[in-house]
């Protein structure tokens, strides 16, 4: 497909994207999943699907989504809350990734061989993707857009996303379970949860750095004096 036709298609997709965004914002679905509507959500058997749909829309359009990590554990047990959050994040991630790749992709194609794009593609490993997802306060919607523009392999991106989100959602749910008086996720979480997520992120970054660290070749080690320190000292024949 030519560059011109790809851009025409991206414009049409962008108009459709904006239209769906307007429908989502005017539907009131996102406002329904809130602390103020906990009682109605608790009595509604369709609440898991409402949360998944609202979370899908929020992550697709890069809207704030921390409320889902707070409201869902207030309504469901930790494992159930984790499953619901993972379903919503998987759908929203796929939609946001696809929107960025097919709407914005043709417009950044000219920069495909740019040094920055090459750097991002080279360092988009599972460990690095996991790290940026697991840190508290991650901007998930913007991460989806960036991954779509860079064209990170979608299965790797989804796997890293779901692994990190599952851990984060479960730790959040355990911290929020039985909490009293908190009105948002910042008030509900303790420092241990944030520290645990940060440590996991740092470990993942460390693994990524180690994977890309230059290693001396075997021939270099053979030719160099790298192991000379291990040789026993030679005894002098002079008395």
What does residue 144 show for φ and ψ, rounded to 5 degrees?
A: -60, -45
pLDDT in tens, 33-45: 887 888 888 888 8
Q: What is the arithmetic mean of pLDDT over 187-196?
A: 68
What does residue 115 show for φ and ψ, rounded to 5 degrees?
A: -60, -40
Whole-number Å distance between alpha carbons of 14 and 20: 10
> Is residue 193 domain-resident?
yes
> Is residue 230 domain-resident?
no
Number of H helices, E strands in the chain: 14, 0
On the question of pLDDT at 180 being above 60, the answer is no
> Is residue 224 domain-resident?
no
pLDDT in tens, 74-83: 889 999 999 9
The DSSP H or E segment spanning 145 is: helix 140-150
What pLDDT does 186 receive?
A: 62
Task: Tell me how many domains the chain contains.
Answer: 1
Whole-number Å distance between alpha carbons of 226 and 228: 6
**Are 96 and 149 within 8 A, CB to CB?**
no
What pLDDT does 3 receive?
A: 63
Closest by CA to 65, choosing from 17, 129, 137, is: 137
Among the ranges given (4-8, 106-110, 185-189), the one the predictor scored with the smallest mean pLDDT: 185-189
> Is residue 204 domain-resident?
yes
Percent of the chain topping pLDDT 90: 27
> Is residue 126 domain-resident?
yes
> In 3-state terms, what secondary structure has residue 153?
coil
Per-residue tokens: 227: 């192991």
When pLDDT is cut at 50, 70 and 90, the band that residue 58 belongs to is: very high
Domain membership of residue 44 as a residue range: 3-214
> Is residue 232 domain-resident?
no
On the question of pLDDT at 50 being above 90, the answer is yes
Closest by CA to 185, choosing from 74, 38, 33, 57, is: 74
> Is residue 228 domain-resident?
no
Among the ranges given (3-7, 120-124, 225-229), the one the predictor scored with the smallest mean pLDDT: 225-229
Whole-number Å distance between alpha carbons of 148 and 143: 9
Task: Return left, alpha or beta for 56; rule: phi > 0 is left, psi -120 to 50 is alpha, else beta.
Answer: alpha
Per-residue tokens: 98: 């696809």
When pLDDT is cut at 50, 70 and 90, the band that residue 176 belongs to is: confident
> Is residue 227 domain-resident?
no
Among the ranges given (86-95, 139-148, 195-204, 219-228), the one the predictor scored with the smallest mean pLDDT: 219-228
The strand ranges marked E within the chain are none
Percent of the chain topping pLDDT 70: 73
């Amino acid at each position: 497909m030519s560059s011109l036709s790809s851009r025409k298609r991206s414009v049409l997709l962008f108009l459709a994207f904006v239209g769906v965004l307007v429908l989502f914002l005017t539907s009131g679905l996102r406002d329904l999943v809130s602390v103020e509507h906990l009682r109605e959500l608790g009595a509604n058997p369709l609440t898991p699907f409402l949360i998944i749909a609202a979370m899908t829309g929020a992550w697709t359009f890069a809207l704030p989504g921390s409320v889902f990590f707070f409201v869902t554990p207030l309504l469901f047990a930790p494992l159930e809350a984790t499953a619901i959050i993972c379903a919503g994040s998987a759908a929203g991630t796929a939609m946001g990734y696809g929107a960025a790749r097919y709407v914005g992709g043709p417009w950044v194609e000219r920069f495909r061989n740019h040094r920055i794009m090459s750097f991002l593609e080279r360092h988009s490993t599972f460990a690095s993707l996991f790290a940026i997802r697991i840190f508290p306060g991650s901007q998930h919607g913007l991460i989806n857009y960036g991954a779509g523009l860079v064209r990170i392999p979608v299965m790797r991106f989804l796997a890293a996303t779901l692994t990190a989100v599952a851990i984060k959602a479960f730790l959040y749910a355990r911290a929020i379970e039985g909490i009293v008086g908190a009105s948002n996720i910042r008030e509900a979480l303790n420092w241990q949860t944030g520290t645990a997520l940060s440590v996991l992120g740092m470990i993942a970054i460390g693994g990524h750095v180690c994977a890309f660290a230059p290693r001396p070749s075997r021939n270099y080690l053979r030719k160099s004096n790298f192991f000379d320190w291990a040789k026993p000292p030679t005894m002098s024949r002079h008395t």
